Chain A
């Protein structure tokens, strides 16, 4: 099945290649695809999947594809340095959405809109509106295609819930009462990452409770009543969480939920890949996914990878051809089946044949009513995040009262946000 789809994909590339060579494209002399492509990837299931498509691409187009992988912690610094040099070291670059803002700032990527609008194979309309905007800068230019669609969703233990007669929570009050019921029955109530990644859950809660991290003029608003309520709520949740929760990072939240007895967790859908590993997943078949509870605001916190073409890329046309090949509609199913985190195409979400292996797919369909929140699109986000983690941790560990800590954080964020280039 997949092979057939792939063959279609390859045929498409050939047509594309011919097409590109037949009518000279925007900048170059109408050359057909040639030369080399240098891919900058970050170790991840998505990266592995992308690489699995390389042999076919090379065979059909004759373009040699080289890959270099850099761990997450250094990847973006390395990319920024490279783009500053303007030496054309990479033709395609994978990056986390949290770095879209600095890249936009630095004009480090090529705008993809022209290619996108001209591509039936990529078919941008196959994406919901919010997801179409996922890789867009404030200027409206698309600097990155969606490489993975990972909303924060609810994962819950079907067996524990059934035993206690619980249903997946739709409000935060329900979430807490569910957790309390499970905790009272002897297991751990719920789990979110209170540790080094606590910012991910903190911003989600703040938004969901109706707050904002900063207003349109970049004044911080983390000590608004809604934001403070969110932090207080997180503290309440800590009491019905397992013992190691206070230091759990994103991965540990997932591995604990999959390996121990915890009623529910809030986490990105992309972590589903860990559930496929039987040495991690001891609760196979005993959990399901549902949308995150709604607070005062209906928001979806959307995370995920982006992938784009650096502004100084030497072979942008071949780069687009590659992106179209791997991420286009024809190969979408094969791409998912090769182990990558899912991309939320409508055609994929509604494909019932994929549902068994990827039961979370329905959660990727983000209702139009839900406001999509990405990582805050500010260049100073790294520093902002560290300050926020520091402050929230102080509240969670009991070192500070919520209001005092958030007021202090707000003050500090003022000077950090003041550095944001406008």
Chain B
């Protein structure tokens, strides 16, 4: 195994100097703004006001926590997340299982199916905005073929949320599929053979054997998707800009509006810190649970 020879001094493992560049970079591009954001949140900076900035303590937080928008946008975020997860994960697993059967041409299918995943979300949003158009959109036209009246997709909250999930799913399901395919590939075929010998049918094999074995991957996936939904911006921005009104505005988009449209930089910074407090525990909770699964 490891060599028992005495290792010369130059064998000190790589650490400080190798990680230094990363530290420097992250300090300037991440840490500094984060700390500055926290600092900002205690002031009253508004871009359109040239009045001298004042320290106002926790006022911005009080404002944020008492504003109904903070909560309504948070709920919108959660709703998008839940609907999205419920659609994307099963669909991704379903496609992965189908693909995994190693039919002829599965390579071709895989290459084609993952294309949506890599496309620029903004451009994708544009495409779907056109397709969802009430009057000339192809989706409403397709619906009219089966007798439906067509919806004003982006004009009402529920349909807009569904539209957003559809667009996100178009890009996310391939990702889920790919990861599950990779996970499925690690399952030794001997297990399947043994099950078949025992007379199990396809569904039993899937639910009793396959699924439990890919649970770690699913946990990773769920976590990644949760974080993705918390970060969702591009698609939202293009499809609805958070509209109608604030109906499809997530907490992140609301932070953007507060800072960039209302020019209330300090209030936006406070919202950012609140997001930080929401996101971090979720991530750490997951890490804990993932470790315990092993």
Interface residues of A (CB under 8 A from B): 77, 80-81, 84, 102, 105-108, 195-196, 243-244, 246-247, 379-380, 382-383, 386, 389-391, 393-394, 397, 412, 415, 419, 421
Q: Are A247 and B261 in contact (CB under 8 A)?
A: no
Contact with A along B134-178 (1 / 0, CB 8 A): 110000000000000000101110000000000000000000000
**Candidates B50, B134, B257; contact of A386 at CB < 8 Å:** B257
Q: Are A380 and B262 in contact (CB under 8 A)?
A: yes
Q: Are A244 and B47 in contact (CB under 8 A)?
A: no
Interchain nearest-CB distance for A79 vs B (Å): 10
A397 to B160, CA, bound (A): 13
User: Any chain A CB within 8 A of the CB of B241?
Assistant: yes
Interchain nearest-CB distance for A78 vs B (Å): 10
Interface size on B, residues (CB 8 A): 26
Segment from B8-16, B18-26, B243-251, B286-294 that makes contact with A: B243-251
**Candidates A107, A389, A412; contact of B245 at CB < 8 Å:** A389
Interchain nearest-CB distance for B45 vs A (Å): 11
Contact with A along B242-281 (1 / 0, CB 8 A): 0111110000000001001111100000000000000000
Which residue of chain A has its CB nearest to the CB of B48? A102
Q: Which of A80, A81, A390 has the most CB of B within 10 A?
A: A390
Q: Are A393 and B49 in contact (CB under 8 A)?
A: no
Q: Are B50 and A397 in contact (CB under 8 A)?
A: no
Q: Are A243 and B152 in contact (CB under 8 A)?
A: yes
Q: Determine the chain A residues whose CB is within 8 A of the CB of B156 once the complex forms.
A: 246, 397
Q: Are A77 and B49 in contact (CB under 8 A)?
A: no
User: Any chain A CB within 8 A of the CB of B51?
Assistant: yes
Q: Determine the chain B residues whose CB is within 8 A of the CB of A412 once the complex forms.
A: 68
Q: Are A383 and B245 in contact (CB under 8 A)?
A: no
Given contacts A80-B47, A81-B47, A106-B50, contact A195 B262 (CB under 8 A): no
Q: Are B244 and A107 in contact (CB under 8 A)?
A: no
Interchain nearest-CB distance for A177 vs B (Å): 27
26 contacts between A and B (CB under 8 A): A80-B48, A80-B263, A81-B47, A102-B263, A105-B50, A106-B49, A108-B50, A195-B155, A195-B244, A196-B243, A243-B135, A243-B152, A246-B155, A247-B154, A247-B155, A247-B244, A379-B46, A379-B48, A382-B263, A383-B262, A386-B246, A386-B257, A389-B243, A389-B245, A390-B246, A393-B247
- What is the predominant secondary structure among interface residues of chain A facing chain B? helix
Q: Are B241 and A196 in contact (CB under 8 A)?
A: yes
Contact with A along B93-137 (1 / 0, CB 8 A): 000000000000000000000000000000000000000001100
A105 to B243, CA, bound (A): 29
Q: Are A247 and B260 in contact (CB under 8 A)?
A: no
- What is the predominant secondary structure among interface residues of chain B facing chain A? loop
Q: Are A383 and B264 in contact (CB under 8 A)?
A: yes
Q: Give me 8 other A-B pairs in contact (C-beta within 8 A), A196-B241, A386-B257 excluded.
A: A105-B48, A195-B244, A244-B155, A247-B152, A382-B262, A382-B263, A389-B243, A415-B63
Interchain nearest-CB distance for A338 vs B (Å): 31
Q: Are A386 and B49 in contact (CB under 8 A)?
A: no
Q: Are B48 and A393 in contact (CB under 8 A)?
A: no
A38 to B156, CA, bound (A): 43
Q: Determine the chain B residues whose CB is within 8 A of the CB of A386 once the complex forms.
A: 245-246, 257, 261-262
Q: Determine the chain B residues whose CB is within 8 A of the CB of A244 once the complex forms.
A: 134-135, 152, 155
**Candidates A105, A196, A247, A382; contact of B49 at CB < 8 Å:** A105
Q: Are A77 and B155 in contact (CB under 8 A)?
A: no
Q: Determine the chain A residues whose CB is within 8 A of the CB of B50 once the complex forms.
A: 84, 105-108
Contact with A along B200-237 (1 / 0, CB 8 A): 00000000000000000000000000000000000000
Which residue of chain A has its CB nearest to the CB of B156? A397
Q: Determine the chain A residues whose CB is within 8 A of the CB of B49 once the complex forms.
A: 102, 105-106, 379, 421
Interface residues of B in 39-64 (CB under 8 A from A): 46-51, 63
A397 to B244, CA, bound (A): 10
Q: Are B263 and A77 in contact (CB under 8 A)?
A: yes
Interchain nearest-CB distance for A166 vs B (Å): 26
Q: Determine the chain A residues whose CB is within 8 A of the CB of B152 once the complex forms.
A: 243-244, 246-247
A110 to B65, CA, bound (A): 40
Interchain nearest-CB distance for A391 vs B (Å): 8
Q: Determine the chain A residues whose CB is within 8 A of the CB of B243 once the complex forms.
A: 195-196, 389, 393
Q: Determine the chain B residues whose CB is within 8 A of the CB of A246 once the complex forms.
A: 152, 155-156, 244
